Structure 1
Amino acid sequence: MGVEIRVEGLTKAFGSQTIWQDVSLTIPSGEISVLLGPSGTGKSVFLKSLVGLLKPNRGHIWIGDRDLPYLSEGQLYETRKLFGVLFQDGALFGSMNLFDNIAFPLREHTKKSESEIKRIVMEKMDLVGLVGAEGKLPGEISGGMKKRAGLARALVLDPEILLIDEPDSGLDPVRTSFLNQVFVDLNAQINATFLIVTHDINTARTLPDNIGLLFRRELVMFGPREMLLSSEEPVVRQFLNASKIGPIGMSEEKDISELEAEANMGLEAGKLPPIPPQQMPSNGLIRPTQHAPGAWCAAHGVTPPPGSFIDELGRNWVEEWPRYVASMSAVAGQHAGPPPGPGPQGPGPQAGPPMGGPQGGRPQPPGARY
């Protein structure tokens, strides 16, 4: 299971320039979280702070019971072994082939034999669909393959926390969708804690369990996906609508006169779009930490935007979900004995058939890719 990350009052500045201040949030263990924000708001700086590459000016980063900014070098070195990091460009060594790039953390941090290293590397390459490319150099492969190779390298030490910096950077929408499916499938398999920095609105709307938004040197909001996708907070509404109307300007935030002019003209960021069903693992099984569609809205008395939770086949997943859970519990029982009892988000199987497409006539999951 992944590790919870608890951030308290975190502030980072470079000289006189404050990047963000008094940031507090809890990234739940084993869940997928996404961090959004306009360019230049310090999202990558936040990731680097979480892994100890940058030291904050003040505040706390609790990784389990360890406060990262106050660890000794030896303690920090050991704590970093909990992390896997996928950098924006993959950060591969140009002179090494993909096999050696992915094997590097194992050779650096473990005393495993070369035969054991080969087994682990090939397992991770198979996981990200790179078997057969192990002899290629980074300069000989596409941007999407570099991302997947960087992801395989981030996975070789079986991390409990995965930090992923703009995985969609330089990728077309189709490859971004495929990569998102890899993240969902990985989370279902290894139960690691994921934090993904992205600008891709479709990723933010369909992939995570939680969303955060940085703006004006502070964390505007962080919480369950449905909370942000139904929020009337102006900056959240503007960002998720990709609208020119709202507090975000071309450089940073708009000044008061610009906002007043927009208000006087009756301009609005637009209605919130429907909340889509959340993307599911390829095999259709429910992730252990996954929330039922519409559960947050119902618990907090929030009416979601019209048309929410309806998939491309016209199915309403608020209504479909109980039947789907029952169906998947039956599938899990056939493959792994009696189904488990209710978890923190309600009943759901923890084991089931191998990865693959629809099986046995059971309903297709929302957001799955076949």
Structure 2
Amino acid sequence: MGVEVSVEGLTKSFGSQNIWRDVSLTLPSGEVSALLGPSGTGKSVFLKTLIGLLHPEQGSVIIDGTDITKCSSKELYEIRKLFGVLFQDGALFGSMSLYDNIAFPLREHTKKKEDNIRDIVMEKIDLVGLTGAEDKLPGEISGGMRKRAGLARALVLDPEIILCDEPDSGLDPVRTAYISQLLIDINAQIDATILIVTHNINIARTIPDNIGMLFRKELVMFGPREVLLTSEQPVVKQFLSGDRFGPIGMSEEKDFAVAEQEAQMQAAGISGGGTKDDFSEIIPQVQPNPGQPERKAIERHRRRVVELLPTLPANAREAVERGMAEEDRIRADNRSRDEFGFGADAPTAPLKVVAGQTATDH
């Protein structure tokens, strides 16, 4: 089972430039969380701080009982073995083949024999749809393929915590759907704690149990997805709808004159370009593929949501209750299919990504 990650009062700056301040949140053990926010708000910096690559000026990051902001280098080395990290650009070694890149954590952190390492590496390569490309160098493949190789490397140690920095960037919509499903299936199998940084609103609405949002150097909110998706906060509503009218500007700080002008345009019926989807509806969360175990995180998450229901506005409470009822129906249908069509002969590994490359994979 994945471990809890507790962040308290975290503040990070580069010189005089403050990135974010007093960030406090808890990634519940074994649950999938997502971190949203406009570009440049320090989401990738936050991930690097969680694994000790960057050191905060204030605050604590407690992982499996150890505060990594205060521990020794030896303790940090051991804590990092709990992590699998998919960096935004894949972060592959350019002089190594994909096979050697993916095998690197096994050779670095285990004493497995090469035959055993090969079995594990080829399984992960097959899982992300890169069979046949294992001997290629990172410079010989597309950005999307490098991203998938980075994910395979993040998974070879069966980590208890998985960090994914924009797993959809460089991928076409179909492979984005496969990668998202793969993360849900992995969570169902090993109950890993997963944090996804993303700008993809569809991922945010359908994949995580919890969502947080960074804006103007602060954590706007963090909690069950149902709370953020029904939030009336202007910055949250604007980000989810992708509309240019609202607190978020081309620069993070939208000045008063621009805000006034946009308010007049909006009052005149001029569109801000955002989607008109009804975000008061809670879309059912993606479920594991047939034949996979049910996610243990679901019941833990549901208990927290039920406790929060009385504190929500009436329309949000109704939307959450409808969403929970629909998810219960979907899970019941899945159990029936498993019983009658996906029983003992069902696959026990997540369905792999389609192999090959398309133009949109670049």
The TM-score bracket by the shorter chain reads 0.7 to 0.9
Q: What does residue 101 of structure 2 align with?
A: 101
Q: Does 1:275 align with 2:268?
A: no
Q: Do structure 1's residue 152 and structure 2's residue 152 form an aligned pair? A: yes
Structure 1 residues 56-65 or 188-197, which shifts more?
Answer: 188-197
Displacement after TM superposition at 1:239 (Å): 0.5
Superposition map of 1:129-168 within 5 A: 129-168=129-168
- Give the 4+ runs in structure 1 shifted more than 3 A: 256-272, 291-309, 316-337
Instruction: Tell me, in whole angstroms, the C-alpha distance in 1 between the residues paired with 2:21 and 2:53.
Output: 18
> What pairs up with 1:159-198 in 2 under 5 angstroms?
159-198=159-198
Which residue number corresponds to residue 82 of structure 2?
Answer: 82
Query: What's the offset of the Cα at 1:64?
Result: 1.9
Cα gap change, 1:173/1:330 in structure 2, threshold over 3 Å: closer, same or farther?
closer
Structure-2 change in CA distance of 1:195 and 1:26 (3 Å): same
Counterpart selection for 2:297 from 289, 295, 307: 289
Shift of 1:93: 1.5
> Which residue is equivalent to 1:218?
218
Q: Measure how far apart 1:132 and its partner are.
A: 2.8
1:291-306 pair list within 5 angstroms? 298=309, 300-303=311-314
| d(CA) in 2 for partners of 1:262, 1:163 | 37
Displacement of 1:38 in angstroms is: 0.7
Tell me, yes or no, if the aligned pair for 2:290 and 2:337 is still in contact at 8 Å: no
Structure 1 position 237, deviation (Å): 0.7
CA distance in 2, matches of 1:304, 1:284: 36
CA contact (8 A) 1:88 1:167 kept: yes
Alignment of 1:11 with 2:11, yes or no, is: yes
* 2:295 partner amino acid: R
Please state whether the residue corresponding to 1:61 is helix, strand or coil.
Answer: strand
TM superposition score normalised by structure 2: 0.83
Aligned-pair distance for 1:200? 1.2
Distance 1:183 1:271, change over 3 A: closer
TM-align CA RMSD = 3.3
Q: Distance in 2 between matches of 1:288 and 1:130?
A: 30
SS at structure 2 position matched to 1:70: coil
Deviates more, 1:52-61 or 1:132-141: 132-141
Matches within 5 A, 1:197-208: 197-208=197-208
Offset, 1:141: 2.3
Mapped partners of 2:190, 2:329: distance in 1: 26
Task: Tell me the amino acid that sits aligned with residue 197 of structure 1.
Answer: V
Could you say which residue in structure 2 is the equivalent of 1:360?
none
Q: More helix by proportion, 1 or 2?
A: 2
Tell me the secondary structure at the aligned position of residue 95 of structure 1: coil
Q: Distance in 1 between matches of 2:74 and 2:193?
A: 23
Paired residue total: 339
Question: What is the TM-score with the length of structure 1 in the denominator?
Answer: 0.82
- State the shift of 1:131 in Å: 2.7
Give how far 1:173 is off.
2.3
Contact 1:230/1:272, CA 8 A, preserved across alignment: no
Structure 1 residues 102 and 262, CA, compared in 2 at 3 Å: closer, same or farther? same
Distance 1:294 1:48 in 2: 28
Contact 1:144/1:175, CA 8 A, preserved across alignment: no
Structure 1 contact 161–194 (Cα < 8 Å) conserved: yes
Give the counterpart letter for 1:103 in structure 2: A
Distance 1:20 1:288, change over 3 A: same
| Relative contact order, higher structure (CA 8 A, sep 6+) | 2
Change in 2 beyond 3 A, CA 1:135/1:299? farther
Aligned to 2:38: 38
- Whether the 8 Å contact between 1:293 and 1:318 is mirrored in structure 2 is no
1:122 and 1:8 map into 2 onto residues whose CA distance is 39
Provide closer, same or farther for how the CA distance between residues 187 and 243 of structure 1 changes in structure 2, counting only shifts above 3 A: same
On the 8 A contact 1:7/1:25 being kept in 2, the answer is yes
2:122 paired residue number: 122
Retained in 2: the 8 A contact 1:238–1:245?
A: yes
Residue by residue over 1:9-66, the C-alpha shift from the partner in whole angstroms, topping out at 9 and shown as x without a partner, is: 0000111111000000001111111111111110010000000000000100010210
Corresponding residue of 1:259: 259
3-state SS of paired residue (1:30): coil
